[in-house]
Amino acid sequence: MEGSTRSGRLNRLAPAAMLLAVLGSTADTWWLTLDRWTKLDESYSHGFLLLVVSLVLSWQVWRRERPVTGLHSLWLFPFVLGLAGYAVGDLLGPV
Per-residue pLDDT, 6: 64
Instruction: Identify which of 17, 1, 5 has the alpha carbon closest to the alpha carbon of residue 75.
Output: 17
What is the value of pTM for the model shown?
0.57
Distance CA(6)–CA(28), nearest Å, equals: 34
Per-residue pLDDT, 58: 93
Identify whether the C-beta of residue 33 lies closer than 8 Å to the C-beta of residue 45. no
Amino acid identity, position 53: V
Per-residue pLDDT, 7: 67
Torsion of Cα atoms, 6 then 9 then 10 then 13, to 10°: -160
Helices (H), the chain: 2-25, 27-37, 47-64, 73-92
Q: What is the pLDDT along the chain (95 residues), one digit of tens a residue?
A: 445 566 677 777 777 888 888 888 888 888 888 888 888 787 888 889 999 999 999 999 989 998 776 677 788 888 889 888 888 887 887 76
Q: At what angle do helices 2-25 and 73-92 cross, to 10 degrees?
A: 20
Per-residue pLDDT, 4: 57
